[in-house]
Amino acid sequence: MEIKQLRYFIEVAKREHISEAALELDIAQSAISRQITQLEEELQITLFKRQGRNIYLTEAGQTLFIEAKKIIEQTESTIRLFHNQSELDNFTIRLGYVNSYISQVLSLLIQTFENASDTKIEPMLMEETEIANALFSNQIDVALMDLTPDIKHNNDVEIIPLFEETYHIYVPKDNPIAMATNPPLSQFANTQIYQLYGIPSNIIQTLEQQTKKPVRTITHKQIAKYLLTKNRGYIIAPSYQMLDKNDQQWIEISLEHTQLKRTICCALRKDNHKHDIKELKTTIDNLLSRASTYH
């Protein structure tokens, strides 16, 4: 039993006339008669009584008429449900991003885009280890992420390099390293280093390889200030994250000259044609591309 057969049957049943149903459906009478016959054979019932050129529903036909209308209504409701969901999905862009300077400007990015578009952005903070797979598997539409070799050499992905993210380190003012100019990472060995605000694992691994000492994590500026005041270690953070200036207690040393840096890019699949996704790409490029100064 096919949906098409039920639709034909309903039209004939409502009019009790095959020719009128054929006009409504814009198909040949013979095609309707054939489908009705196949339906009767499958159900092993007689749906219509024929009297001359007129036809009337049998008792079984009346029962099927009631049930067929329910089936068609449910079918159309299901189709509308998925069409509406598809339309909603087309006007929602899932934006994955890693913890970086992006977090500082994300609200501005979303507001700027949504003020000019009827498409909404659904932001999702993701780990560096999961965001690429999320993009490849269509869990997200756009990724603001590290420019990794896998992404860079993927021909199915469009890449826009945005900015380079660097780091700085705070050291007690009385520590000898405070006088150094562009010190190598190895010069920070033998003293405990604490990361503040969370730093990517690959950056931490590079730092630990150079300093030969595990980097510990703290989560609050007040703890960082206390450790610096007591000369208990150094504090490393992204360049856009600043401690309050205190020339009497600590100084800031830029690490831009070291290998501790990452390139943040915008990545999206070339086969993604969602509504206004090109406009979002342009907005991202205008707001973030080549940004080298943090505010």
155-183 per-position pLDDT tens digit:
999 999 999 999 999 999 999 999 999 99
pLDDT tens sequence across 11-70: 888 888 888 888 888 899 899 889 999 999 999 999 999 887 778 899 998 999 999 999
The candidate with the shortest Cα–Cα distance to 165, out of 122, 101, 243, is: 101
Angle at which helices 102-116 and 277-288 pack, to 10 degrees? 130
CB atoms near residue 260 (< 10 Å): 23
Q: State the CATH number of the domain containing residue 36.
A: 1.10.10.10
Residue 100 is assigned to a structural domain of this protein: yes
8 plus 79 within the same structural domain: yes
Span 219-227, average pLDDT: 94
DSSP state of 215: P
d(CA 231, CA 234): 8
134 and 273 belong to one structural domain: yes
* The domain boundary residue, chosen from 67, 83, 99: 83
Q: Please, which residues have CB within 8 angstroms of residue 222's CB and are 6 or more apart in sequence?
A: none
Res. 252: pLDDT tops 90:
yes
The answer to whether residue 295 sits within a structural domain is no
- Quote the mean pLDDT of the chain: 90
Least confident range from 104-118, 142-156, 281-295: namely 281-295
The pLDDT value recorded for residue 75 is: 86
Choosing from 83, 102, 127, the residue where a domain stops is 83
pLDDT tens digit sequence for 230-243: 999 999 999 999 99
Task: Measure the CA–CA gap between 53 and 229, rounded to whole angstroms.
Answer: 102
- Lowest mean pLDDT segment, chosen from 7-21, 140-154, 162-176, 262-276: 7-21
Say if residue 103 is in the same domain as residue 71.
Answer: no
Same-domain pairing of 174 and 245: yes
93, 36: one domain: no
Answer whether residue 219 is part of any domain.
Answer: yes
Q: Is 7 in the same domain as 143? A: no
- For position 198, which CATH number holds? 3.40.190.10
Q: Which pLDDT score is estimated for 160?
A: 94
Distance (Å, rounded) from C-alpha 210 to C-alpha 152?
27
Task: Indicate whether 294 belongs to any domain.
Answer: no
- Going by pLDDT thresholds of 50, 70 and 90, the confidence category of residue 261 is very high
Residues 194 and 159 placed together within one structural domain of the fold: no
Domain ends where: 26, 58, 83? 83
Question: What is the pLDDT, as a whole number, of residue 98?
Answer: 95
Exposed / middle / buried, residue 273 (Cβ in 10 Å: 0-12, 13-18, 19+):
exposed
Per-residue pLDDT tens digits for 65-98: 999 999 988 988 887 777 666 566 668 999 999 9
Cα separations in angstroms, 61 against 4, 11, 131, 269: 17, 13, 57, 53
3-state secondary structure of 97: strand
20 and 72, same domain (yes or no): yes
- The model carries a pTM of 0.68
- Could you tell me what percent of the chain has a pLDDT over 70? 95
* Cα 264 versus chain centre, distance: 17
- Is the CB of residue 121 less than 8 Å from the CB of residue 95? yes
Mean pLDDT of 275-289: 91
What is the residue range of 274's domain? 87-163+262-289
Is 156 domain-assigned? yes
Least Cα distance to 145 among 155, 167, 112, 157 occurs for: 157
- Structure confidence at residue 22 (pLDDT): 87
**What is the pLDDT averaged over residues 1-5?**
88
Domain count, the chain: 3
* Residues 135 and 79 reside in one and the same domain: no
Does 119 map to a domain? yes
Q: The tokens 């004939």 sit on which residue?
A: 12
Could you give the 3-state DSSP secondary structure of residue 235?
strand
**Predicted pLDDT at 294:** 42
Indicate whether 155 belongs to any domain: yes
Do 224 and 148 lie in one domain? The reply is: no
Handedness of CA 43, 45, 48, 50 (dihedral sign): positive
Look at residue 130 and tell me whether its pLDDT is greater than 70. yes
Give yes or no: residues 100 and 179 share one domain. no
List Cα–Cα distances, 125 to 88, 97, 100, in angstroms: 22, 5, 10
Contacts of 104 (CB under 8 A, 6+ apart): 240, 294
* Nearest C-alpha neighbor of 191 from the set 172, 168, 204, 206: 172
Q: Is 76 in the same domain as 36?
A: yes
